[in-house]
Structure 1
Amino acid sequence: MCEDLENLDDLHMIFKLVRGIILLNSPSIFDKIFSDELILDIIGALEYDPEVAKVQKHRIFLKDHVVFKEAIPIKNISVVSRIHQTYRIGYLKDVILPRILDDATLASLNTMIHTNNAAVISLLKDDACFIQDLFSRMRSPNISMELKRELVLFLHEFCTLSKSLPLVQQLRLFRDLSGEGVFEIVSDVLQSQDRKIVSAGTDIVILFLNQDPNLLRSYIVQQEGNSLLGLLVKGMVTDFGEQMHCQFLEILRILMDSFTMSGAHRDVIIEIFYERHLDYLVDVIASSCPSRSATRTSPNSAVVGGNTEEHRIKPEILLNVCELLCFCVVHHPYRINIYFNTTWYFLSRMNILFAMLSSLTC
């Protein structure tokens, strides 16, 4: 009624009352005022801040401009309700009241968001049909690039939000996703030309490695052709931009960290890397070193195959390759010693490595 009559004095008073109610920092009050029935009314009352000259149109923004886009249909009404509530609480916290909230109230709102995220992930992970439908759609040969992008980003967010779960449930979820074939999905994603979903794919891999590296190691050991490991190695020397080569380096370091390996994985994963992929990394460095008679190239790039126009590898990528080789020397001294000693061009390669390290540190 006050809004219809444009009674600003009363609207300012209502703003102060609602602000005071929120600052009471009561979980039971939060449950009530942030319900689907009241949340928009609460946000509407907070549009009339007496310290702000213009009325803020938060409800119009939330109704007309915020679109809830489902990459895959969510049939559970409770999940959808919590997703909406979480977004609105975050909007209130970050946009409407950032300068008003005290630390205690801010912490309570963050806890509420965290709890909602955990509930959403828990409900979705327990829905076997939902997970199967998600992976089935991602494997479909007829999927459009736009839908594929949305599904990959959804999977990335799903895995990221799973950190809201207790550790035991996190591990169970990641094992279930591994069993459903998440690494096959990631292998396909890493071959995409879309940098954003490639970045999402590497983030998903890192989340799995931080949870349990042996899940990925088991997949690579059992995989015929070891294409995922090969994609990770190639990704490390591919210029995706945005420092993504550092993500690939981190993945390979965790994957081959001898201190976290156990059982059969310890020797097999290292053998696969040394037998099938180390040559490629050394060749990248070797082909990036110009001969003594070659003309000097741009200081901002290294050249592969002598072509200064088409096959450039950035120095920071080469430095990461050298860093990975140094990592191998520290963690697998016996194996890398065998590799170089059984390679007939050992001396030339070592000279190349030392030359490259010298040029990168100059």
Structure 2
Amino acid sequence: MPSQMTTNDLLFHASVDPGFLDETLIVWSESDTCDLALSFQDKTGCEDIWEKICQVQGRDPEQHPDYTGNYDELDDSDGMENGNQGYTNQRISNNTITLPPCELSRLQEIEMMLSNSFASAGAREKVAYAVENQDYIPKLCDIFHMCEDLENIEALRRLYQIARNLFMLNRNDILDVLLNDKYFRDIVGMLEYDPSQSERPKHREFLFEKAKFREVLPIKDEKLSQKIHKTFRVQYVQDVCLPAPSLFEENLLSALNSHIFFCRVDIVGMLLEEKQLMKELFEQLKDRNTDVERRKDLTMFLKEFFTFSASLQPNGPQGRDAFYKTLMQNDVLATIEPCIMSKDVQTRASTVELFVMMVEFNPQTVRDFLLQQGRTLSESKNDQLLLNRLIEHMLTDHDPELTSASSLAQVMRVLLDPDSMMSATNVKTERLEFLTFFYRRSMDTLCRALLKNTEGDHPNRG
């Protein structure tokens, strides 16, 4: 960068290694620790700037950097040598690349090649293809065992970077091998040697020894049980073992995200097919004699079930609509009242979350349930109405952040919104009927706290 003043002195000089990333980013490195990027809204703008950069540098815009970040001419017949990076005899043909032999002495080369492959989608694909073809992952696991036996910390830290980058190659075939029971424990072991951690986390000890699956309800389907175990472990890898991706790495874990997504879809579908399990779940939740701890476990199970359902498509035979309809057929709304009356704080909080999700799905169905309950209970039993139980909980919530109270207040607004009543499909309940029910049966409960602090027509300051 020359000075714009008359002296024309050189103000800044850096070795820049540019490259494409996903066709809308131009990335480059100015040092081992400084990565910069230009982001564009569309591919055309990115290509225009790329051509101008290459024009200034005197390079062909169609020629992409090799896997070391350099533009050295690649010779398909003789291979490529780069003494600075340590890559030797890397044979590159039209769409393939040969990785260095998977040996302890070559870990640095392997790590660098994987890291530099993220400069472009094409480079990443070639390296991923090579990892598959050269059967790399089993060999890396063998090296990992040897390094742990020798307590070779430097090599183990390189294996951490390699394992991390293997996930970020974002290829389903590689992910299947990484998550295979045969290699998964070793891969998790590699992820324990994060050089940025002052103390090595014991992921294997937690996952395979300490973490115990609590079977709230008997699951007879072995495939379902295995799917739940596997999903938990993969979710742990994503949330705990792998570092949070940077801005430019967010899309490099989409294969892992998709894997977890489809595992959840499978679990929801398999649970819905367990008719006896569903029957036991709702019968025990509705039973007022269910003890506090048992009700807590069942409520948490149902909440997790609802959370997993967010992975479902809106429509279809296994969509969210079918999921909620199945739960409504099992009288899921009848479980809310006994659960909101629980002495356990966590049970009550989870119940509020469940109720919010039900209202978000179909407020009209909830209104119909509340009206039907009002028809079966006389006005002398207003305190037993679910709507009044929820209002009472909203007014007496002891959470300093009022999380449940705020959620319930929002739900009440939705239920009482006349516009949502008119726009609802297949309306069974007239707007006037529900509003009349609310003002006659629940308004007193809502205003009770105000009335207690009022003398005559004035607030009681005492």
Q: What TM bracket, shorter-length normalisation?
A: 0.7 to 0.9
Instruction: Give the 5 Å matches for 1:132-151.
Output: 132-140=279-287, 142-151=289-298
Tell me what 1:65 maps to: 210
Tell me what 1:222 maps to: 372
Tell me what 2:344 maps to: 194
- Is the counterpart of residue 248 in structure 1 residue 398 in structure 2? no
Which structure has the bigger radius of gyration?
2
In structure 2, how many angstroms separate the alpha carbons of the residues matched to 1:175 and 1:294?
Answer: 47
The alignment's TM-score, normalised by the length of structure 1, stands at 0.74
Instruction: Encode CA deviations 1:83-141: one digit per residue, 9 max, x unaligned.
Output: 22222222222322215672122333222222211221121112222211211232345
Deviation at 1:43, TM superposition (A): 0.5
Deviation at 1:142, TM superposition (A): 4.7
In structure 2, how many angstroms separate the alpha carbons of the residues matched to 1:85 and 1:263?
Answer: 43
Deviation at 1:10, TM superposition (A): 4.3
The equivalent position to 1:264 in structure 2, one of 429, 444, 449, is: 429
In structure 1, how many angstroms separate the alpha carbons of the residues matched to 2:153 and 2:408?
Answer: 57
- Is the counterpart of residue 79 in structure 1 residue 224 in structure 2? yes
Paired-residue identity, %: 28
Instruction: Encode CA deviations 1:221-273: one digit per residue, 9 max, x unaligned.
Output: 22222711221222232233241222221222111211121342422221211
Tell me what 2:441 maps to: 276
In structure 2, how many angstroms separate the alpha carbons of the residues matched to 1:278 and 1:142?
Answer: 30
- Is the counterpart of residue 97 in structure 1 residue 257 in structure 2? no
Q: Say which structure is richer in helix.
A: 1
User: Residues 293 and 266 from structure 1, CA distance in 2 versus in 1: closer, same or farther, beyond 3 angstroms?
Assistant: closer
In structure 1, how many angstroms separate the alpha carbons of the residues matched to 2:201 and 2:459?
Answer: 65
Instruction: Encode CA deviations 1:128-157: one digit per residue, 9 max, x unaligned.
Output: 222112112323455321111100111111
Instruction: Encode CA deviations 1:41-61: one digit per residue, 9 max, x unaligned.
Output: 210122234555554321112
Tell me what 2:311 maps to: 164
User: Residues 64 and 167 from structure 1, CA distance in 2 versus in 1: closer, same or farther, beyond 3 angstroms?
Assistant: same
Tell me what 2:260 maps to: 113
In structure 2, how many angstroms separate the alpha carbons of the residues matched to 1:293 and 1:94?
Answer: 55
User: Residues 52 and 207 from structure 1, CA distance in 2 versus in 1: closer, same or farther, beyond 3 angstroms?
Assistant: closer
On the 8 A contact 1:15/1:46 being kept in 2, the answer is yes
- Is the counterpart of residue 184 in structure 1 residue 184 in structure 2? no
User: Residues 15 and 94 from structure 1, CA distance in 2 versus in 1: closer, same or farther, beyond 3 angstroms?
Assistant: same
On the 8 A contact 1:32/1:38 being kept in 2, the answer is yes
Amino acid paired to 1:124: L
Deviation at 1:11, TM superposition (A): 3.3
Stretch moving more, 204-213 or 74-83: 74-83
In structure 2, how many angstroms separate the alpha carbons of the residues matched to 1:284 and 1:293?
Answer: 14
Deviation at 1:171, TM superposition (A): 1.7
- Is the counterpart of residue 231 in structure 1 residue 389 in structure 2? yes
In structure 1, how many angstroms separate the alpha carbons of the residues matched to 2:224 and 2:430?
Answer: 39
Q: Which runs of 5+ in 2 are unaligned?
A: 1-144, 422-426
Residue 167 of structure 1 aligns to a residue in which SS?
Answer: coil
On the 8 A contact 1:171/1:212 being kept in 2, the answer is no
User: Residues 56 and 156 from structure 1, CA distance in 2 versus in 1: closer, same or farther, beyond 3 angstroms?
Assistant: closer
Amino acid paired to 1:28: D
Amino acid paired to 2:366: L
Tell me what 2:276 maps to: 129
Tell me what 1:300 maps to: none
Amino acid paired to 2:264: N
Stretch moving more, 48-57 or 268-277: 48-57
On the 8 A contact 1:74/1:80 being kept in 2, the answer is yes
On the 8 A contact 1:175/1:215 being kept in 2, the answer is no
On the 8 A contact 1:122/1:165 being kept in 2, the answer is no
In structure 2, how many angstroms separate the alpha carbons of the residues matched to 1:195 and 1:73?
Answer: 26
Tell me what 1:286 maps to: 451
Residue 38 of structure 1 aligns to a residue in which SS?
Answer: helix
On the 8 A contact 2:170/2:254 being kept in 1, the answer is no
User: Residues 9 and 200 from structure 1, CA distance in 2 versus in 1: closer, same or farther, beyond 3 angstroms?
Assistant: closer
On the 8 A contact 1:90/1:113 being kept in 2, the answer is yes
Amino acid paired to 2:386: L
In structure 2, how many angstroms separate the alpha carbons of the residues matched to 1:260 and 1:86?
Answer: 38
Stretch moving more, 164-173 or 240-249: 240-249
Tell me what 2:109 maps to: none
Amino acid paired to 1:177: L
Tell me what 2:117 maps to: none
Tell me what 1:317 maps to: none
Q: Which runs of 5+ in 1 are unaligned?
A: 298-362
In structure 2, how many angstroms separate the alpha carbons of the residues matched to 1:234 and 1:14?
Answer: 56
In structure 1, how many angstroms separate the alpha carbons of the residues matched to 2:440 and 2:453?
Answer: 22
The alignment's TM-score, normalised by the length of structure 2, stands at 0.59
Residue 420 of structure 2 aligns to a residue in which SS?
Answer: coil
In structure 1, how many angstroms separate the alpha carbons of the residues matched to 2:394 and 2:197?
Answer: 50
The equivalent position to 1:28 in structure 2, one of 137, 161, 173, is: 173
